[in-house]
Structure 1
Amino acid sequence: MSFINSASKKQKWIGISLINLSIVALLGFTLRSKILFNIPFLDFKHVLHAHSHFAFGGWVSLALFVLLSTELLQGIDARMNRVLLLVNINAWGMLISFLLQGYGLFSIIFSTLFIFVSYYYTWVFLKALQKTETEPIIKQMAIWALLYMSLSSIGPYTLAYLLATKSGNVILYKDAVYTYLHLQYNGFFTLAILALLFNKIIKHSLLADKHRAKRFLTIVNATVIPSLFLCYLWHYPTTYVRIVAITGSILLILSVVLFLPLTKNIKVFAGKETTPYRVLLALSIVALILKLTLQSLTIFPTIGDQVFNNRPVIIGFLHLVLLGFVTLYLLAHFLQLGYLGNTTLTSVSLAIFVTGVLANELLLMTQGLEIMFMTNSRLFPQMLWYAAIVLVMGSILIVASHLKTQYSKYNATFH
């Protein structure tokens, strides 16, 4: 496999993932529009399921698969290219089928196929990873990330069982959803991004104390299963479950304590990059610290009860991770690799998108706090709609920046 061929495949898949991000943003805008306006031909739940499944499959999973393959392996060979094609096909299958029928025959088929394709990616990736000279701790993080991704499928399988048996077990239903989300967000997404970030820092020889980084990465990995039990506290479980949840909460705080000194190394690493990159990475790191801290606080019943019964807070937390931490990091990584360029359009598009992320997060959390205090302004749906418009504009301009950059590279190469 030639370097040029692998680089062109990487460029292609990054472009596709960015287009998918803009579609995710458009679906989010559609949901906000449906809340405000009468749009009879759109079913809110259908759009919601399409939005969430495509965000996971078409944007985050695809983007992480591409980066893991090109940063930790030797590039995208023919087999990996076919796997990525299958990932994207099934993501689009979920998008279209959920929009048209919600949970139905075709959406279930594509969702199931997507799970099996993710297993296939894991097998192909792990097999190739053993042949690389990647730092051992980075290998471990990548392996665990993909194992947690595979393990998260227990959630959809449980939901399928409940659907097939026509069970009305609300507790099992919610626990299945929380288990899936936790293992995706706090297992797969978080560990994969940390593997990518620390892999870059180590390669640039900017990590003076590798042992400190190893301790942090080991502890943050160790938080995943115990902190899962924090998700089960909403239905007042047994003492044993609470003990494991407390252990998870302590490990989360410990991971924050171990991570804070490492931010100095990250600052040195980012200091050599452009201002947009530094801003994106800094916001992503802040979101990660907030995520770990907020998770740990749910061990307290007064906080946990409010959170798990407050939809805007739950949505706010999910968007904090998906947009604030994951998406901003992925955009920073793409920017550093040169796939978004370094032009005025690049800066403007990223500034608009970041503004939308910050506005969306601030509004969701403020709305959640107002609900806690039994007050909820009618202005929030309108303001969240404006934030969604900003996100759509930013994501489309990011795609435009990527295409402009690649076109310039093409002209420079062949003219």
Structure 2
Amino acid sequence: MPKKLVLVCLINFLVAALMGLVLRYVFVSPYLPINFRYVTHAHSHVAMLGWVYLMLYVLIVHHFVPSKKPVFNWLFWATEISVVGMMVSFPIQGYAAISITFSTLHIFCSYYFVRLIWKNQRIKSKPIERLLKASLIFMMLSTVGVWCLGPAAAILGQTSPFFQIAIQFFLHLQFNGWFMFAVLAVFLYQFPITDTPLFQRFFKTLIAATLLTFALPVSWYAFHPILLWINGIGVLLQLLSGYYFILLLRPHWDWFWSKTPKIIKWMYALALISFIMKIALQTSSIFPEISRMAYQYHNFVIGFIHLMMLGVITGFLFAFLLNSRLISIKSKTLSFGIYCFTIGFIATEILLLIQGLFYYFALGMIPNYYWLLFVSSILLPIGILFFIINIINHETKTIKTT
């Protein structure tokens, strides 16, 4: 993988993490002269589009496109320009002319990326090709939610149910569709998976589950009992797809795990445990009381998003990077960075969960909650920074020895 492009992705992630740290600090020192909502927009856009999207871009081109045409490099930098534009404009003006322009540029870059991959990918494995193409279709489909925001805001207002559902449509298909399927494509690429009836059942149930579980966020803004039933069916299908996933991996797991270095095992364990927790939490949404609780208390929503973003998606992406030649996995500083990131992630998740339960049971605030959350969050950018330092140092050593 091109080192410069990977470093750009990680620097984007570092910036997003620092923005998240600023957002945590606002609750410690509320007199910080920033617009909380504007910085939140910047934080989420840079994390999703500057880190996950671009890192998946690099991985997909690296693994699945044998002919590395110059257009892929040009498109990467055009996409990065759109990310930097959002990084700078969102904290200043929120959703306005400049930030919307850069967001629109990113969408058009993503459409062109889909066209290029569809045309130039040369995947021999049919299951991996299906997962990749499904991820790209989900990515394009998710942008329908973005295109609906303008008319919805102008006609119905930003507080309307339709506007909120359009946002949830984009987020749901980005996280559970584009990001999840692309990560699975790269992960399963390491296994000799064939197009068996078992894989087809896994693939079909996962797609159906992804579509049907969108009923839950819809029910938050336009409640109807049938939506809970649709979500329930989607959750059961997701459990079934998880079972099929285990059956797919079981014949190859001992071989794969035995050849995987310890530090990479750590990241895969983080990603897979987070994936299981994600399924478990979505399964619990079958119960109406838990579904309402998840919506009413913001801690649970943030905790779930971070579980997906930092635990599942980033866990897999870090494991893929550790498995490349860009990083010296025997470095003590790298181990320190990974442990910092992991501890920071787990600590913030636990704090968000416990505080959400405190709110639900009317127990008030955890003592020093915001300070604890802020201090735990410091570990996240530290971990990312050590990743970056390791790649830079490893690059320097490689150049010197060649």
Q: TM bucket by the smaller chain?
A: over 0.9
Work out whether residues 249 and 299 of structure 1, in 8 Å CA contact, stay in contact via their aligned partners in 2: yes
Change (3 A) 1:334 1:12: same
Tell me if 1:354 matches 2:342.
yes
Residue deviations 1:92-113 (CA, integer Å, cap 9, x gap): 1111010111111101111111
Residue deviations 1:328-374 (CA, integer Å, cap 9, x gap): 11011000012221211221111111111111111111111211111
Count of aligned pairs: 399
Tell me by how many angstroms 1:209 deviates: 9.4
Q: Using the alignment, how far apart are the partners of 1:267 and 1:196 within structure 2?
A: 19
| Match for residue 285 of structure 2 among 279, 288, 298 | 298
In the alignment, what sits opposite 1:259?
A: 245
| Match for residue 77 of structure 2 among 62, 76, 85 | 85
Matches within 5 A, 1:95-244: 95-129=87-121, 132-165=122-155, 167=157, 169-202=159-192, 211-235=197-221, 237-238=223-224, 240-244=226-230
Work out whether residues 230 and 299 of structure 1, in 8 Å CA contact, stay in contact via their aligned partners in 2: no
Work out whether residues 149 and 166 of structure 2, in 8 Å CA contact, stay in contact via their aligned partners in 1: yes
Work out whether residues 146 and 170 of structure 2, in 8 Å CA contact, stay in contact via their aligned partners in 1: yes
Deviates more, 1:316-325 or 1:376-385: 376-385
In the alignment, what sits opposite 1:383?
A: 372
Change (3 A) 1:386 1:85: same
Q: Using the alignment, how far apart are the partners of 1:15 and 1:103 within structure 2?
A: 28
Tell me by how many angstroms 1:184 deviates: 0.5
Tell me by how many angstroms 1:152 deviates: 0.8
In the alignment, what sits opposite 1:289?
A: 276
Q: Using the alignment, how far apart are the partners of 2:3 and 2:358 within structure 1?
A: 44
Structure 1 counterpart of 2:169, one-letter code = T
Q: Could you list the runs of 4 or more consecutive aligned residues of structure 1 that deviate by over 6 angstroms after TM superposition? A: none
In the alignment, what sits opposite 1:363?
A: 351
Q: Using the alignment, how far apart are the partners of 1:336 and 1:210 within structure 2?
A: 27
Matches within 5 A, 1:10-49: 10-49=2-41
Tell me by how many angstroms 1:75 deviates: 5.5
Structure 1 counterpart of 2:389, one-letter code = A
- Structure 1's unaligned 5+ residue stretches are 1-6
Q: 2:65 aligns to what SS in structure 1?
A: coil
Q: Using the alignment, how far apart are the partners of 1:231 and 1:166 within structure 2?
A: 19
Tell me by how many angstroms 1:214 deviates: 4.2
Work out whether residues 297 and 359 of structure 2, in 8 Å CA contact, stay in contact via their aligned partners in 1: yes
Tell me if 1:270 matches 2:260.
no
Q: Using the alignment, how far apart are the partners of 1:105 and 1:235 within structure 2?
A: 28
Tell me by how many angstroms 1:173 deviates: 2.3
Structure 2 counterpart of 1:400, one-letter code = I
Q: 1:308 aligns to what SS in structure 2?
A: helix
Tell me if 1:398 matches 2:387.
yes
Tell me by how many angstroms 1:212 deviates: 3.3
Q: 2:33 aligns to what SS in structure 1?
A: coil
In the alignment, what sits opposite 2:396?
A: 407
| Match for residue 63 of structure 1 among 46, 51, 55 | 55
Work out whether residues 165 and 221 of structure 2, in 8 Å CA contact, stay in contact via their aligned partners in 1: no
In the alignment, what sits opposite 2:311?
A: 324
Work out whether residues 127 and 199 of structure 2, in 8 Å CA contact, stay in contact via their aligned partners in 1: no
- Structure 2's unaligned 5+ residue stretches are none
Structure 2 counterpart of 1:81, one-letter code = N
Q: 2:191 aligns to what SS in structure 1?
A: helix
Deviates more, 1:217-226 or 1:17-26: 217-226
Q: Using the alignment, how far apart are the partners of 1:33 and 1:373 within structure 2?
A: 26
* Aligned CA-pair RMSD: 1.9
Deviates more, 1:353-362 or 1:185-194: 353-362
Residue deviations 1:149-197 (CA, integer Å, cap 9, x gap): 1111122222222233362553112211211111011001110000000
Q: Using the alignment, how far apart are the partners of 1:13 and 1:168 within structure 2?
A: 36
Q: Using the alignment, how far apart are the partners of 2:335 and 2:67 within structure 1?
A: 28
Structure 2 counterpart of 1:14, one-letter code = V
Work out whether residues 25 and 374 of structure 2, in 8 Å CA contact, stay in contact via their aligned partners in 1: yes
Work out whether residues 90 and 113 of structure 1, in 8 Å CA contact, stay in contact via their aligned partners in 2: yes
Q: 1:200 aligns to what SS in structure 2?
A: coil
TM-score, normalised relative to structure 2: 0.94
Q: Using the alignment, how far apart are the partners of 2:152 and 2:12 within structure 1?
A: 31
Identity of aligned residues (%): 29
Change (3 A) 1:78 1:163: same
TM-score, normalised relative to structure 1: 0.91
